[in-house]
Amino acid sequence: MSEQGKVTIGRLATGVPGLDTVLGGGLPEFSFNIIAGAPGTGKTTLAHQIMFANATPERPALYFTVLGEPSLKMLRYQQQFDFFDAAKINGAVRFINLSQVLLDNDLSAVFDAIITEVEASSPGIVLVDSFRTVVRKAQTGASTEMELQSFIQRLALTLTSWQATTFLIGEYSDSEVYDNPVFTVADGLLYLSQNTERNSIVRKMQITKLRGQASVPGLHTFRIDKSGLQVFPRTFGLDGKRGKSSKRPRLSTGVPALDALMGGGIPEGASLLIAGPSGTGKSVLATQFIAEGVRQGEPGIVAIFEERPEEYARRAKSFGFDLETPQKEGLLEVLYLRPLDLSVDETLFEILEAVKRMGAKRVVIDSLAGFEMALAPAFRQDFRESLYRMIGALTRVGVTVLSTVEVQETFTDLVFSPHAISFLTDAIIRMRYVEIDGQLRRILVVVKMRGGYHSKDICEYEITSDGLTLGARLEGYQGLVTGVPTRSEQS
């Protein structure tokens, strides 16, 4: 069959951010779908969001309620969401209660009631909530499994013939999905779940089945807030190529002497890791980097996980950096990402959206340890993979990323990160304490500059009210990287 002769399946935009991407471009028009999941997973909210996005006076949505959540309560709770449009009720969106029909009659009466309404209003969207109760009625009554299958098939066929896109909403556990006549007939199956781990809850969605087009496989996290559902595709940020030319301009860190150690600064679009123990000045250097960008008119983003933005700005001020004015001027955004139950995809989404919004050139992630703690426990297990995605996605859009990571100081070796992630970054600066002449002093060294020259000098630095000031190479000592150097014999 030639490509020309093939039918083109129209796609409905769901109105749910991120879901169309997961579905492979939207919902196939006239499809017969199931939204399944345990109670409280967001099935009804998802259904309402899709309904309000697509219902029009010409092609209204019919929402049949059947012994599930009472319509009165549904209207009470769903109107709290931004997508709920009261002006559409009983016009573009019509609720029809079939509970009594189901209680008093058999499946054919339910079928007749649905079809009568469909024929009267020619809807574009039909929803049945909860379809599980319809199936239960069939199972407890005289209807056989064949009759149930026949009912579902007739319903699917008729609704598709009337050019309606249908959603059956039901409470099903994932084990019930298999060998179930409802799921056999369905064109699409959207399965929602929420998993609890320790005190965190992570909501996930899977497109278990979708006829006619390729959806993005796997589990995608989603969040429900006042706007409704927002889905974070698990492939988010992985598309596109990293366009790096060999001659990239260098970005100043804000510390000229450090730029010199790095062969002129950080290559644009590279990722730099600042590693060091607590109190060595990682955040100071990160702030200096972002402040230098602002000074040069380059918009920046600071993603923080531990402190609140105002605290972060206050601390920056004590080192001589004003983060408040550039925020007001639109040159800087300090993103405080809600801790403890974040997904990687959500974090990435927030940062990338901010990058797009600001046209940011520089991004600071302060810190990776905070980021890890902010994630729901389930995601901490895959932290390395998460960082790989995060850093890859950010550098792919051309921003220069500076991340800080806290390492535990040892006096025998030089650790770059507790996550074995140093291979993910293009450059590494290691800060550490050394004991010299009865003082705890600070040194730093550029450990890695992928594809470029960097100085091997180990330099002492100070943190003052003007930020980080780099001194000259610390000569006359051996074993500086161990933290307990000895004087060289020559000195």
Partner 1 sequence: MRQTAPAAQDLAQRLLALEASVDNLPDVYAASSTFEKLHLSLVKLIGVTGFQALLVRALALAKTEVAWLAAVEVEADGTLRGFEENARKQSAEETIQGEVTLLSQLLGLLITFIGADLTLRLLKQIWSELPSENNFGAEEIS
Binding residues (CB under 8 A) for partner 1: these are: 65, 70-73, 75-76, 79, 86-87, 89-90, 95-97, 99-100
CB of 72 to partner 1, least distance (A): 5
- In the complex, what is the shortest distance from the CB of residue 171 to partner 1, in angstroms, rounded to a whole number? 19
Paired with 127 in beta bridges are 63, 167
Q: Which residues contact 366 (CB under 8 A, 6 or more apart)?
A: 282, 283, 286, 302, 303, 304, 305, 312, 403, 404
From the CB of 1, what's the least distance to partner 1, in Å?
Answer: 46
Q: Contact, 279 vs 266, CB < 8 A?
A: no
C-beta of 49 vs 417, nearer to partner 1 = 49
- Choice between 100 and 108, CB closer to partner 1: 100
d(CA 442, CA 337): 31
Q: Least distance to partner 1 from the beta carbon of 344, Å? A: 38
Cα 84 to the center of its chain, rounded Å: 24
Q: Which pairing describes strands 271-276 and 427-436: parallel, antiparallel, or unpaired?
A: parallel
Local structure of 52: helix, strand or coil: helix
The answer to whether 304 touches 271, Cβ cutoff 8 Å, is: no
Do residues 49 and 184 lie in contact, with contact meaning Cβ atoms separated by under 8 Å? Answer: no
216 vs 345: CA distance, rounded Å: 14
With respect to partner 1, which residue has the nearer C-beta, 40 or 91? 91
Of 428, 417, 424, 339, the closest CA to residue 379 belongs to 339
Show Cβ contacts of residue 349 under 8 Å, excluding neighbours closer than 6 positions.
Answer: 18, 232, 236
Q: How many other CB atoms are found less than 10 A from the CB of residue 170?
A: 24
CA-to-CA distance for 177 and 172, rounded, in angstroms? 7
d(CA 89, CA 384): 48
Nearer to partner 1, 78 or 287 (CB): 78
Tell me the closest approach of the beta carbon of residue 138 to partner 1, in angstroms.
20
CB 94, min distance to partner 1, A: 8
We find the least distance from the C-beta atom of residue 36 to partner 1, in angstroms, to be 23
> Angle, nearest 10°, between helix axes 145-161 and 107-121?
0
Please name every residue paired with 441 in a beta bridge, in sequence order, or none if there are none: 434
**For residues 79 and 122, which CB has a smaller minimum distance to partner 1 in the complex?**
79
Residue 211 CB: number of other CB atoms within 10 A?
13
Nearer residue to partner 1 within complex by CB, 1 or 86: 86
Q: Largest Cα–Cα distance of the chain, in whole Å?
A: 101
User: For residues 393 and 361, is the Cβ–Cβ distance under 8 A?
Assistant: no
- Looking at the Cβ atoms of 8 and 80, the one nearer to partner 1 is 80
Pick 69 or 306: Cβ nearer partner 1: 69
Decide whether 100 or 161 has the Cβ nearer to partner 1.
100
CB of 44 to partner 1, least distance (A): 15
Give least dist CB 32 to partner 1, A. Answer: 24
Yes or no: say if 211 and 34 are a contact pair by the CB < 8 Å rule.
no
Question: Cβ 90 to partner 1, closest distance in Å?
Answer: 5
Cis peptide upstream of residue 491 (ω within 30 degrees of 0): no
Tell me whether residue 136 or residue 473 sits nearer to partner 1 (CB atom).
136
